[in-house]
């Protein structure tokens, strides 16, 4: 993405799946917000409109995959590539998104410690599902010039062009943490330097002309833009930001703005109080555990949040936001809005979730089901009873809610239901007179 941008192209970025961190890197590379394309949460029929929104005003849309090409979620674990029904497949895999967009796939292969076997690997990916078009190969972690020659010779009979061969270099090893890459918000300048270094390597070792030509030869799609929220009311929403809380979909924020929300950002590590004259609070996910000491030390803000939210301020908190609203996180005092305590563990809770509202709340009416995902290493006690959660390997009640609050581990994407943004803003207008804004 960064190398194409250096050529003067307007580059848009997409990310398969519900990832928050990678789109932050994409934004550095492209200068535009990174967008998520998730067919399980947002449904297959929304992928082309969401991709069109991502690509609006650009010359090329580059979509990064998730895991392996065919890895994804499915409600039916027996589903595979051989099934005749194209609607029944491993939803939101990279292959699924490529099919929905009729997009060519460039397969990035880890070529370390291999030579002839690379052909078997590529052959398997290229033939596993004939509906997916593997149109190019980039070899990664190539050891030397002679190693590259061996790899290209091995791939010669497959008739799939090798569009690049990136050398093995420790300078390209990215910093990671238990949820993946370290978010951009923590070390933006360092990430910028790393991406520029990587872009130079791509210019040297990849055929960018061939990659651009492949994109230009992709079939043309005609699709409407995604639905936009109707204007509901003029409200102000405080949005937690900064390194501790950077996991919010840009689509969610834009949908709130369309519904009438003015978004006011604040950093919970340093702000001494919530922004003035607000109707609601939105706290997304992130790494509050990394900044727990700073968050706990900011007692004036915690006291203000506790007073305003318990006093009726409309509030939406997802994952990390749930931990911040709890009584404590790993023994450190938090806002004490939620009557529960959180601790970090070494066990990952990961996966798509169906969430049925057991309590009427600002996002979901009682009995309404929404799709989302969880990705965390923490637990909270008690779990709460606001949502009936169902996933492949999990089920049960969890989360905390009232007509003015929803706090849970589940991340929701408003591309799945634009009505969630409208309902949230309507809740702000309906409960005007509580919170810390002046009553009308």
Domain ranges of the chain: 2-216, 235-430
Element (H, E) at 236: strand 235-240
Helix-helix angle 188-205:21-30, to 10 degrees: 70
Of residues 376, 398, 395, the one with CA closest to residue 387: 398
Residue 48 contacts by C-beta under 8 Å, 6 or more apart in sequence?
100, 101, 221, 223
Structure tokens at 99: 């099919």
CA distance linking residue 190 with residue 199, whole number of Å: 14
Rounded Cα gap, residues 163 and 341, in angstroms: 51
Tell me the sheet residues that pair with 264.
238
Q: Which of 294, 320, 316 is nearest to 376 (CA)?
A: 320
Structure tokens at 42: 């947002």
CATH class, 235-430 region:
alpha beta
As a whole number of angstroms, the distance between CA 189 and CA 197 comes to 13
The pLDDT, as a whole number, for residue 21 is: 87
Identified catalytic residue from 42, 206, 319, 428: 319
Q: Which two tokens stand for residue 123?
A: 């052959």
The reply to whether 319 belongs to the active site is yes
What single-letter DSSP state applies at residue 276? S
Q: What is the pLDDT of residue 76?
A: 46
Question: Hey, which residues does 107 pair with through a beta bridge?
Answer: 137
Tell me if 2-216 shares its fold with 235-430: yes
d(CA 292, CA 334): 8
Among residues 109, 110, 86, the alpha carbon closest in space to that of 98 is found at 86
Alpha helices in 180-319 (DSSP H): 188-205, 208-216, 250-258, 292-297, 299-310
Cα separation, 393 vs 412, whole angstroms: 19
**Architecture in CATH of 2-216:** 3-Layer(aba) Sandwich (3.40)
Where the chain has pLDDT below 50, the residues are 76-88, 434-440
DSSP notation for 361-426: -SSS-TT-EEEEEEEEEEEEES-BSSEEEE-SS-EEEEBEEETTEEEES-EE-TTS-THHHHHHHH
Question: pTM above the 0.85 mark?
Answer: yes
The pLDDT, as a whole number, for residue 437 is: 35
Q: What are the Cα distances from residue 390, in Å, to 350, 355, 383? A: 12, 7, 14
Give me the sign of the Cα torsion angle 68, 74, 76, 81.
negative
- How far apart CA 116 and CA 171 sit, in angstroms, is 27
């Amino acid at each position: 993405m960064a190398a194409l941008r250096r050529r003067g192209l307007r580059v848009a970025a997409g990310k398969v799946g519900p990832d928050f961190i990678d789109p932050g890197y994409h934004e550095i590379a492209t200068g535009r917000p990174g967008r998520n394309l998730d067919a399980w949460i947002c449904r297959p029929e929304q992928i082309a409109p969401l991709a069109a929104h991502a690509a609006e005003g650009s010359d090329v849309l580059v979509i990064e995959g998730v895991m392996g090409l065919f890895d994804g979620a499915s409600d039916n674990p027996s589903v595979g590539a051989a099934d005749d029904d194209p609607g029944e497949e491993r939803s939101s895999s990279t292959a699924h998104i490529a099919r929905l967009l009729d997009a060519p796939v460039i397969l990035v292969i880890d070529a370390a410690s291999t030579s002839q076997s690379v052909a078997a690997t590529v052959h398997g990916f290229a033939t596993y599902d004939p509906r997916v078009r593997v149109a190019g190969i980039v070899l990664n972690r190539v050891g030397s010039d002679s190693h590259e020659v061996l790899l290209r010779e091995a791939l010669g009979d497959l008739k799939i062009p090798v569009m690049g061969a990136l050398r093995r270099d420790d300078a390209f090893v990215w910093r990671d943490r238990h949820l993946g890459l370290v978010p951009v918000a923590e070390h933006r300048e360092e990430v910028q330097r790393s991406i520029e270094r990587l872009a130079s390597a791509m210019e040297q070792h990849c055929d960018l002309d061939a990659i651009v030509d492949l994109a230009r030869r992709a079939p043309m799609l005609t699709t409407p833009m995604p639905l936009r929220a109707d204007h509901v009311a003029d409200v102000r929403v405080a949005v937690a930001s900064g390194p501790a809380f950077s996991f919010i979909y840009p689509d969610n924020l834009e949908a709130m703005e369309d519904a009438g929300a003015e978004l006011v950002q604040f950093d919970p590590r340093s702000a001494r109080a919530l922004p003035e004259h607000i109707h609601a609070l939105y706290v997304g996910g992130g790494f509050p555990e990394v900044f727990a000491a700073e968050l706990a030390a900011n007692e004036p803000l915690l006291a203000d949040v506790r007073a305003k939210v318990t006093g009726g301020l409309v509030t939406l908190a997802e994952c990390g936001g749930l931990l911040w609203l709890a009584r404590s996180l790993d023994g450190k005092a938090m806002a004490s809005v939620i009557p529960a305590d959180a601790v970090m563990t070494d066990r990952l809770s990961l996966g798509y979730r169906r969430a049925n509202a057991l309590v009427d709340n600002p996002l979901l009416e009682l009995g309404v089901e929404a799709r989302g995902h969880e990705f965390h290493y923490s637990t909270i006690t008690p779990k709460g009873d606001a949502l009936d959660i169902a996933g492949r390997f999990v089920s049960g009640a969890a989360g905390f809610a009232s007509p003015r609050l929803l706090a849970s581990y589940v991340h929701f994407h408003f591309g799945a239901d634009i009505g969630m943004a409208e309902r949230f803003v309507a809740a702000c207008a309906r409960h005007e007179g509580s919170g810390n804004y002046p009553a009308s």
